[in-house]
Structure 1
Amino acid sequence: MNNKALTALTLGLLVAGSASAQKLQDLPEYSIPQSQTTKHMNILAADEMLGRKPGEQGNLMAGRYIAEQFRALGLKPANGSYFQKVPLETVIPPREGTITTTEGSAKIGTDFVLMQGSGLEGSFETVHLPYAWIDKDKGYDDYKGVDVKGKVIITSVGVPDSEAPNQLFASIEDKQKLAKERGAVAIIEVFNSPRPWNMVVRYFGRPSTKMKTAASSGEEITHLWISSTSAKILVANKISKVNLEIGARKVKDVLTYNVAAVLEGSDPQLKDEYLILSAHYDHVGHGAAAGNVSAGDTVFNGARDNAFGTVAVLTAAEAFTKVKPKRSILFIAYTAEEMGLLGSRYYAEHPLVPLNKTVFNMNCDGAGYNDMTKITIIGLDRTGVKEEFDTATRAFGLTAMDDPAPEQNLFDRSDNVSLAAKGIPAPTYSPGFNAFDAEINTYYHQAADNPDNIDHSYLLKYAQSYTYAARLIANRAQAPAWISGDKYEQAYNKLFAK
């Protein structure tokens, strides 16, 4: 190639690059000032919000603030209201309770815990079953030929052929239902899992908040977990009678809401598909019950976790109302993430837009940051949009990196997993971190996590790059999909009938 041709080509590339850059700079996410993201942060993570714990006034105030931002932007309520009530309840376990047999006795709060049901007193016959489980597909039935009416079932936690920790908990309601249908008065599961028993006691032996279900009516039978050590008083010689003196638990409703709004897309065909842009806005509250308070500071403001992500969703909402993307967007701020992903779990079962029309969820969450040159994307390579993430982060001088701690299973520990389990591609967009080091732990779930010690210029870049990535994905000709072999690919194929 001669010099004249080379010069012309170079000039052409420069002109094309300049035009592309100019077009990019014209996007509204570039014009949102730092003062705007700082304002959102200072309000959401203010002391007046009292740590935004569900069931407390600060959580309701934060939810109202988010809804007012949606309303001011002209976004439509998702279902006649910006608020989706999430029915939760706080359960306060009884302080008194014993299990007594001829082999000895066990005490509630140390030897056993009440998982479901109310108090129960009396002497009962027992029946011993391997798992108190039925699996019709596998031809498995512990109840076949066994009369459990009026008796206490003694069994093992979990289900046959599964050691997964989540299965121990997932089977509780089903076991409860099976036992109740057959007339049992109680079920006692022996906790023979290798997981530490003291963790079970710490979690279930204190007040806890959970989803309120049909089984929460107080009519469920008494359901206990007992440690494998203490269970000797039950399983030795297959004890045939047991005396129960279990006090009643107290149940209190928790008032809290997901906050959601919809923006219709600009493309006549693609607007029938939705992206969900999400972040949880709750945190752990205030006072000693929330954690280790420091002198003069008792409010756990949750600036990093997760006012950071909520600000990004609000920034995207503002930018997209100025220049609409092709696909429609559901903006949603989840409640009760800190209580076990309860807000997103409720949404996944009660969606405001059809799940089979929801092609992507870009969730915002994180424990904090220790590298302000990066954005950490949990699931960067799993949903086929790495190019969009790379482009969006580079535009703001940042680098997209994948999960630095895969052993922590972070993908399945935030609100994204509630929709991922339904089949929807759903990574989490997190502030940049290379490891869970001292810098992260200084602020993670600590009273020190305040707006005045975050980097507000980095917050702006985080929110802008999140918005730009969402725009690129919303404008794709082809909807994202799980990469081949991903553990959620089968659910995706089922949801979208692939």
Structure 2
Amino acid sequence: MKILYIIPLAVMLSCCSSVKNQSGTAQNLDNQLLKDVQVLSSDAYQGRKNGTKGAEMARAYIIDRFIKLGLKSYPANVNYAQEFTFKSKGVNLNGTNVVGYIPGKSNNVIVISAHYDHLGVVKDVIFNGADDNASGVAGLLKIAAYFSKNKPNNTIIFAAFDAEEVGLQGAKAFVSNPPVPINTISVNLNMDMISHSDKAELYVCGTFKYPELKKYVVNNNPKIKVLLGHDDPKSGHEDWTNQSDQGAFNSKNIPFLYFGVEDHKDYHQSTDKYETITQSFFNDAANAILEVAKNIDRQTGLQLSLKNKTIMKN
């Protein structure tokens, strides 16, 4: 794993510290956030397709970041790895989630997730998957960095899922065999495609089915629009409820918030590269999601009622 982690030094050092945002003014950016995306979406990782050397390299990178951030590994997982098997097109395949946690002051659990796999190499062309979903993994690592320095009230699990692109397989494996009793999981915050928006629009899906979560979605940054939606099947908009890993949690009636952007010209294309993400928007989006996570964590009594599908406070 350590050998696979080695990548060109130039990739690691070439991140920018500032760019102009969409209004044309200079903006300081989170260098580590950008570095994580740049590394994971570099050609060296070959698109991170499930079961490939590139996916193994991605896991090694994420594990190294977990170790440096001081995240703990559950005893059942070897070096943060939750291995699983699944069937695709009649073939048994293997996958590996990367799961770490920061203990809180209570046994209530928040799961923060993002999938690290992408499409790999298609007809000798690398599909790098910068927005989909190196960006979500980078957002996850940013939130983990905050809570590693600021002890959370709730125990927070950070899960980088494998095999999302072939049917949410990593998330399904996680909820089928969670490292904690499933009734202690209060909420899932999932990120998938949070770095590419020319309109500076970040959508939050989940408050239609779980309206109690709406009060935690607060944004005071005028440079970004944090919009609720894409979860009411009667709205006329595409329903994202089960479109990414939060769908596995929703199937267990675990409340969720899913953060993502609408499809863009680079979605599932070879042009989804580090160079095509919207850096200023990404910086603002990651900060906005962190604020939501902080708002939810302030509620020390969050509990999930599987029967009533509601969140209640003790």
TM-score, normalised by the number of residues in structure 2: 0.81
2:112 to 263, 277, 282: 277
> Residue 108 of structure 2 contacts residue 303 of structure 2 at CA under 8 Å; is this kept in 1?
no
Alignment of 1:238-387 (within 5 A): 251=91, 254-265=93-104, 267=105, 271-288=106-123, 298-366=125-193, 369-383=196-210, 384-387=212-215
Do structure 1's residue 492 and structure 2's residue 309 form an aligned pair?
A: yes
Match of 2:73 in 1: 77
Do structure 1's residue 59 and structure 2's residue 55 form an aligned pair?
A: yes
Provide the C-alpha distance between the structure 2 equivalents of 1:464 and 1:319, rounded to a whole number of angstroms. 11
Residue 53 of structure 1, CA deviation: 0.5
Q: What amino acid does structure 2 have at the position aligned with 1:492?
A: K
Deviation digits for residues 240-259 of structure 1 (CA, Å, limit 9, x no counterpart): xxxxxxxxxxx4x5343100
Equivalenced residues, count: 279
Q: What amino acid does structure 1 have at the position aligned with 2:120?
A: G
Provide the C-alpha distance between the structure 2 equivalents of 1:471 and 1:367, rounded to a whole number of angstroms. 18
Match of 1:409 in 2: 239
Provide the C-alpha distance between the structure 1 equivalents of 2:215 and 2:198, rounded to a whole number of angstroms. 21
Q: What amino acid does structure 2 have at the position aligned with 1:84?
A: Q
Deviation digits for residues 13-54 of structure 1 (CA, Å, limit 9, x no counterpart): xxxxxxxxxxxxxxxxxxx95211111001111111111111
2:248 to 406, 409, 418: 418
SS at match of 2:269: coil
Match of 1:429 in 2: 259
Alignment of 1:6-17 (within 5 A): none
Q: What amino acid does structure 1 have at the position aligned with 2:48?
A: R
Segments of 5+ residues of structure 1 without an aligned counterpart are 1-31, 91-207, 211-250, 483-488
Q: For the structure 1 residues 490 and 481, does the alpha-carbon distance in structure 2 shift closer, same or farther, using more than 3 Å as the test?
A: same
SS at match of 1:345: helix
Task: Flag the structure with larger Rg.
Answer: 1
Query: More displaced, 343-352 or 372-381?
Result: 372-381
> Residue 34 of structure 1 contacts residue 457 of structure 1 at CA under 8 Å; is this kept in 2?
no
Provide the C-alpha distance between the structure 2 equivalents of 1:381 and 1:399, rounded to a whole number of angstroms. 18
Provide the C-alpha distance between the structure 2 equivalents of 1:324 and 1:374, rounded to a whole number of angstroms. 30
Alignment of 1:14-29 (within 5 A): none
SS at match of 2:241: helix
Deviation digits for residues 31-81 of structure 1 (CA, Å, limit 9, x no counterpart): x95211111001111111111111110011101111110011111012343
Residue 358 of structure 1, CA deviation: 0.6
Q: For the structure 1 residues 491 and 369, does the alpha-carbon distance in structure 2 shift closer, same or farther, using more than 3 Å as the test?
A: farther
Q: What amino acid does structure 1 have at the position aligned with 2:52?
A: E
Segments of 5+ residues of structure 2 without an aligned counterpart are 1-27
* Structure with greater proportional helix content: 1
Provide the C-alpha distance between the structure 2 equivalents of 1:372 and 1:257, rounded to a whole number of angstroms. 35
Residue 394 of structure 1, CA deviation: 2.0
Deviation digits for residues 176-224 of structure 1 (CA, Å, limit 9, x no counterpart): xxxxxxxxxxxxxxxxxxxxxxxxxxxxxxxx3x7xxxxxxxxxxxxxx
> Residue 136 of structure 2 contacts residue 194 of structure 2 at CA under 8 Å; is this kept in 1?
no
Provide the C-alpha distance between the structure 2 equivalents of 1:403 and 1:48, rounded to a whole number of angstroms. 36
Provide the C-alpha distance between the structure 2 equivalents of 1:57 and 1:38, rounded to a whole number of angstroms. 23
Provide the C-alpha distance between the structure 2 equivalents of 1:78 and 1:51, rounded to a whole number of angstroms. 28
Do structure 1's residue 470 and structure 2's residue 293 form an aligned pair?
A: yes
Q: What amino acid does structure 1 have at the position aligned with 2:66?
A: F
Q: What amino acid does structure 1 have at the position aligned with 2:108?
A: E
> Residue 51 of structure 1 contacts residue 58 of structure 1 at CA under 8 Å; is this kept in 2?
yes
Provide the C-alpha distance between the structure 1 equivalents of 2:110 and 2:304, rounded to a whole number of angstroms. 13
Superposition RMSD in Å: 2.6
Provide the C-alpha distance between the structure 2 equivalents of 1:370 and 1:39, rounded to a whole number of angstroms. 19
> Residue 306 of structure 1 contacts residue 366 of structure 1 at CA under 8 Å; is this kept in 2?
yes
| Identical columns (%) | 28
Deviation digits for residues 105-151 of structure 1 (CA, Å, limit 9, x no counterpart): xxxxxxxxxxxxxxxxxxxxxxxxxxxxxxxxxxxxxxxxxxxxxxx
Q: For the structure 1 residues 57 and 89, does the alpha-carbon distance in structure 2 shift closer, same or farther, using more than 3 Å as the test?
A: farther
> Residue 365 of structure 1 contacts residue 430 of structure 1 at CA under 8 Å; is this kept in 2?
yes
Match of 2:270 in 1: 447
> Residue 50 of structure 1 contacts residue 286 of structure 1 at CA under 8 Å; is this kept in 2?
yes
